[in-house]
Structure 1
Amino acid sequence: MRPRKVIVVLKGYPRLSETFIAQELLGLEKAGFDLTLVSLRRPTDAKRHPIHDEIRAPVMYLPEYLHEEPLRVLKGLINCWRKPGFKPAFFAFLGDFRRDISRNRIRRFGQALVLAAEWPDGGEWLHAHFIHTPASVTAYASIINRVPWTCSAHAKDIWTSPAWELEGKLANTRWAVTCTHTGFDYLRSLSPHEERVHLSYHGLDLSRFDHFAGERLPLDGSDADRPVNILSVGRAVTKKGYDVLLRAFALLPKDLHWRFEHIGAGEQQKSLKILATELGISRHIEWRGALAQKEVLERYRNSDIFTLACRIAPDGDRDGLPNVLVEASSQRLVCVSTDVSGVPELLSDGENGFVVPSENPQALAKALEKAIRNPDLRRTLGDAAEAKVRSEFDHNVSIRQLKTLFENEWKAA
């Protein structure tokens, strides 16, 4: 069976916050896949993850905004106009546009025209990462060039997309995978072909997160000179719940000694710093900004507790299963998090971590206090968390699953 060249459509590439996608792309290349990457946006991160330098696939950038490259879009339209697939693609776009009258919808179709016109040599399959914007561009291009497509859905893209749009895409894609059981159940409920929706945890490249054999000090928050180190890694955005976390910190007993380190950028960072000052806890906090993975790994190993107060944002946006929880757990670092989306699929309260209701700073504060005061419990739960990651969240399982899904399609063709 001859492997086919897969065109992978991404919203942005490379992105520091989407190393799970880069990890998958590299895994597929190592499994023998020939990939070409198509990005709807150019990179904006100041730092670059080392894994992106290992990926060999060429990258094609579509016009981020159509008015910035009008001639390129016009050439795409002229090139596609006479293709047999143009008319059905245009009618599909019109049907979507009637239900979503927006510039974004027009931009998706324009980007699809450019992709279909500037088709990478040898491209025989389309795969979209995220079932919202990238999948729209992929679906239109699939119709124009009559090439089948598949999709990886994650979190925000599922929960912020209208049901009608998800139903349409699930009806037309050859298959879709998603990374949490909650997302899997929801997509299956919308799909006319339940058997085409698959659960596939991203997992972790455990070769990059070796077992941590070091011993953490038995700190219990009683010594002002040796505070318990609490770490969080994540963008400062609504769904990460950092305002809830800060309010939880403010509820901790005054005789408890701790320090908090945040790694990540995000538009809410300024307002969070103001909130920390208002709550009187800013002296306990260090805002580190974005760091490279090697530095993040070092912070996992030098911290005592990891926390992430995941929540559902007003627009429905939420995490799936945050990779940082899997990473922290792989380093025997006990995690304190919330019962949102896929978090309980990794962490079980009292068994291998602490899981509390979201939007509840009081419950979060109690869990943090218990974790701070009990170093032996931290060690026990952290060891159990690592055991679960190494037995159930190896990314090679996901790569093998994806490889099988692709190959089964190609055998049938």
Structure 2
Amino acid sequence: MTDGNDAQIAVVVKCWPRLSETFIAQEMAGLEARGLKLVIYSLRLPTDPAIHPVHARVKAPIVYLPEYLKNDPLRVLRAWWKARKLPGYRAARARFLHDLVRDRTPNRIRRFGQGLVLAAEMPAGIKRMYAHFIHTPASATRYAAIMRGLPWSASAHAKDIWTSQEWELRAKLADIDWLITCTQYALGRLKELVSDQTRLRLVYHGLDLANLPMPPAQRSRRDGSDPKDPVVILSVGRRVAKKGYDDLLAALAMLPKDINWRFEHIGAGVLGDSFEHMAEQLGIGDRCVWHGARPQAEVFAAYQRADIFVLASKTADDGDREGMPNVLQEAGYQRMAILSTRSAAIGEFITDGDNGLMADPAAPDQLAAGLEKLARDPDLRARFGMRANEVVRTRFSYEAGVDWIARSLALPAHADLTPQIEIPEARAAE
């Protein structure tokens, strides 16, 4: 690991490393492989018990900003003392005060304080700033970039788009050099908020297939008829409302009694053990296995032993919704039969009846029907799995996406992006 003094790009993330955001680590590793020198700034300390192998491949130094300003007041004070002498400090302070009028929260003050530390502590060789997520990481990045007079870019994905205030999205999009997003669905929303749409780009995450386990040569022939060898239904996702685990558990409870099944879940989140309690109340607790957050090797082992992958996504009450869940592509690459919902951008990957099955969001009866169909028919599962694998390999290019980001990060501010490579686009949701 270097000390960051030779870094060209300051990458700002919410938390590093984080098990649920492999797409960010995958991108960082790809950028380094293309010669970019990075330094990573994290707004939070990590809390996950393990890391994925891809995190270990990233050699950039990591700087943890003060998560709460009160916990490191001397560092914040030293940063202010230095940052106030920067040419862009007054403009950044004016921008912050304008934002504070509309958002009178401790979080707003915290982002400006983190921006002070960012601007004061960045190595002199930094040429550009790049924020992963357009909400809180972009707020700190924006203030620091103004202070330092640097161009900044960002990625936008799901919650950061759909739960941010429109006025703030418009303000950031007006300042930004360029922005990438991972679905046509999200791109359409962002285009409504900006006049210069040439600065917006669709870049699907894709998968770095060279560093993932090969799919199994054959899948099981389980059909739910053997109590000693039940069909294994798997879901991987955070325990948050938009993942629809309440609907999925309700669907599992509706399955016919003659189907023998086991449900496994991987992931952690703010809803804690509420789903275990719900499973017990529904009378299916003894058929459900809750693994919590697990490293990538164990996730892929679960893909390989399971028969059906299900993600029951929906729009949460606060507007939060999916981007392009990487777990769908991972399951597809592993030739799993997939059942998901017509929520947000999922239809950009799954076509009902072609490479998986789709249900309406918040429709447990439809999920139950799909689960029963896949559980009873191993031939159908095999066909869907082969097609899902083909779609991952042919429509979602990880290499082209990282190539575009690397070239764009290396360009000077406000450069014309159009002569660069174009990203192969998967079809939009039907």
Q: TM bucket by the smaller chain?
A: over 0.9
Q: Tell me the equivalent position of 1:235.
A: 238
Partner of 1:347: 350
CA distance in 1, matches of 2:96, 2:60: 30
Partner amino acid for 2:190? L
Q: 1:375 aligns with which of 358, 374, 378?
A: 378
**Partner Cα separation in structure 2 for residue 76 and residue 403 of structure 1:** 30
Match of 1:318 in 2: 321
Equivalent residues in 2 for 1:14-413, closer than 5 Å: 14-409=17-412, 412=415
CA-CA distance at 1:244 after TM superposition: 0.7
Q: CA deviation at 1:351?
A: 0.4
- The answer to whether the 8 Å contact 1:209/1:327 transfers is no
Identify which range, 333-342 or 216-225, moves more after superposition.
Answer: 216-225
Unaligned 5+ runs, structure 1: none
CA 1:78/1:410 → structure 2, altered by over 3 Å: closer, same or farther? Answer: closer
Asked if structure 2 preserves the Cα contact closer than 8 Å seen for 1:116 and 1:144, the reply is: yes
- Specify whether residues 113 and 408 from structure 1 end up closer, same or farther in structure 2 by C-alpha distance, changes over 3 A only: closer
Q: What SS does the corresponding residue of 1:309 show, helix, strand or coil? A: coil
- Which stretches in structure 2 are left out of the alignment for 5+ residues? 1-5, 417-430
Deviation of 1:83 after TM superposition, in Å, equals 2.1
| SS of equivalent residue, structure 1 residue 123 | coil
**2:423: which partner in 1?**
none
d(CA) in 1 for partners of 2:200 and 2:331?
29
Classify the secondary structure of the residue corresponding to 1:17. coil
**SS state at 2:229 partner:** coil
Residues 406 and 358 (structure 1 numbering): CA distance in 2 closer, same or farther, change over 3 Å? same
**What is the letter of the counterpart of residue 189 of structure 1?**
E
What is the CA distance between 1:387 and its match in structure 2? 0.3
Q: Is the 8 A contact 1:209 1:330 kept in 2?
A: no
Aligned-pair identity in percent equals: 49
> Displacement, 1:211?
3.8
TM-score (normalizing by structure 2): 0.93
SS of the counterpart of 1:289? coil
Q: Is the 1:209–1:331 contact (alpha carbons within 8 Å) kept by the matching residues of 2? A: no
Normalising by the residue count of structure 1, what TM-score does the alignment of the two structures yield? 0.97
RMSD between aligned alpha carbons?
1.5
Contact 2:128 2:409 in 1 (8 A): no
Task: Give the CA deviation at 1:352.
Answer: 0.2
Q: How many residues align?
A: 411
Distance in 2 between residues matched to 1:25 and 1:277, nearest whole Å:
41
Amino acid at match of 1:281: I
Alpha-carbon contact 1:180-1:341 (below 8 Å) kept: no
Deviation at 1:337, TM superposition (A): 0.6
Q: Distance in 1 between matches of 2:183 and 2:252?
A: 29
Give 1:411 shift: 9.3
Matched residues in 2 for 1:407 and 1:127: separation? 11
1:200-258 Cα offsets, whole Å, 9 max, x none, are: 00100111234424212211112222211111111111111111100010111111111
Q: Secondary structure of 2:210's partner? A: coil
Partners of 2:151 and 2:413 within 8 A in 1: no
What is the letter of the counterpart of residue 343 of structure 1?
A: I
SS of alignment partner, residue 235 of structure 1: coil
Q: CA deviation at 1:407?
A: 3.8
Q: CA deviation at 1:412?
A: 4.1
Give 1:100 deviation, angstroms.
Answer: 0.6
Q: What letter is aligned with 1:42? A: L
> Quick one: structure 1 residues 44 and 4, their matched pair in 2 at CA, closer, same or farther if it must change by over 3 Å?
closer
Deviations 1:285-338 (A, max 9, x none): 111112211111111111110011111111111221110110000010011111
Q: Determine if contact 2:239/2:270 at 8 Å carries over to the other structure.
A: yes
Q: How far apart, CA to CA, are the structure 2 residues paired with 1:270 and 1:212?
A: 31
